[in-house]
A and B are shown apart, each in its own frame.
Chain A
């Protein structure tokens, strides 16, 4: 039944890490609602939702999400879960940042050493976060764009493939990294800075802006994700024995 299907405009990390493959069958069994996921960068996901091409938005760029709701495209934004960003690098560690827990310091060190750094460069949630961290570190990497700073303009997976191919540092969300299968000699170089916190939010699309949205099913999906059952399911998803997402919906 068509009215029992919704489209989720989503960031890629939640899709590529396999979270939806784990969550959606549980939700579908319970409710009979089919959830179709369009996984694109956060920037594009928000634009698609603004075009009314989705029923639920699930991304990770809080400021943009709040703007989306303020503009009337979403009914309400709620924290859903978090994990963190990490900077991965080759074993040779050309910038000498291995083991660092100070992300701004590490970025400045990478810039100083001229070691290669591969950026999404695609206005995604990860890219926005990375740009904010560069700004905090006092470096404008785009001045070196094409030099040591390489903007792939691609998704997280493609950027990891490209970065690993050229021996560059890459900032990625931890979930994508853990489930990524082409790591080669790469390891996590920088992690643990509280500034690398990565918050995901969920927003039902507003039927006042988009009369076509399947508002009931969308709301049920969002409510389930935020419920104790949904939060438990998120916490239960593991890859290589590691939990990828940490539920933090309010009231749980």
Chain B
């Protein structure tokens, strides 16, 4: 463990080019997927939060269940679609970062939708009377809820990002763990583990953890600033 810490520090301090490339790709892919998942998941979560329709309970159950999608299954489904022999093979996206973003987006969009639905429904319960008095349209209501819940939704996005950046099952299938092309932190850790270089694997794991901590700390400090203004 101490050896791994030492190696982790040495890798970071020396500015290891391969490491920087892998870290940058990890962050790039997972942040992109988080943005995409928010663009898809937030409107869905908001709609389900404010709308009452037949089958709403079934939708809630489905959304919550999809939060537990196994990454390998998502990876396999995306692989089957993006494979040259699959329906979207002509796009030539398999074994590219785009494919990894697609897979992670599918993986975490349900998380964003389900968690934001809860956050927005709670806020809507507080605002509903006022909004009805103001005769807001549904679109105005959703916009206002999304804006006023923005700091809570930041945490929702963070939950999605955390899941994306930590998963290996989906990206290794659709990305192929190709050196200098689709290798990210988690697939690099898997590779080092399979090479038996446990110290390197652990060192990469420590670096991934530190990155996750840094992202969380940044979001938390934004939230704290907002909380001081009672905007959360």
Contact = CB atoms under 8 A, between A and B. Distances in A.
Q: Does chain A touch chain B in the assembled complex, meaning CB atoms less than 8 Å apart? A: yes
A181 interface: yes
Given A52-B89, A53-B94, A53-B95, A158 B194 contact: yes
A38 B196 contact: no
Contacts of A36: 95, 176, 178-179, 181
A183 B83 CA distance: 37
A71 B14 CA distance: 50
Interface string B153-175: 00000000000000000000000
A181 B196 contact: yes
B7 to A, nearest CB: 12
A243 B199 CA distance: 25
B177 interface: yes
A179 B196 CA distance: 9
B91 to A, nearest CB: 11
B92 interface: yes
Contact of A16 (B85, B178, B191, B199): B191
B196 A183 contact: yes
A38 B177 contact: yes
B193 interface: yes
Contacts of B196: 157, 160-161, 180-183
Interface residues of A, number: 27
Interface in B64-115: 83-86, 89, 92, 94-95
A155 interface: yes
A155 B83 CA distance: 22
Nearest to A157: B194
A161 B192 CA distance: 11
Interface of A, secondary structure class, is mixed
Contacts of B176: 7, 36, 38
Grouping DSSP codes into helix (H, G, I), strand (E, B) and loop, the B interface class, with mixed when no group exceeds half, is loop
B195 interface: yes
B198 interface: yes
Contacts of B194: 12, 16, 155-158, 161
A20 B178 CA distance: 11
Nearest to B96: A36
Most chain A beta-carbon contacts within 10 A, residue among B95, B177, B178, B199: B178
Interface in A149-180: 155-158, 160-161, 179-180
Interface in A179-232: 179-183, 210, 212
B148 interface: no
B3 interface: no
Contact of B85 (A37, A51, A182): A51
A116 interface: no
Contact of A37 (B89, B178, B195): B178
A157 B191 CA distance: 8
13 contacts: A16-B191, A21-B179, A36-B179, A37-B178, A37-B179, A50-B85, A51-B85, A156-B194, A161-B196, A181-B198, A182-B197, A182-B198, A212-B92
Interface of A: 7, 12, 16, 20-21, 36-39, 48, 50-53, 155-158, 160-161, 179-183, 210, 212
Given A37-B179, A182-B198, 14 more contacts: A7-B95, A16-B191, A36-B179, A36-B181, A38-B176, A51-B83, A51-B85, A51-B86, A53-B94, A156-B194, A180-B196, A181-B196, A181-B197, A212-B92
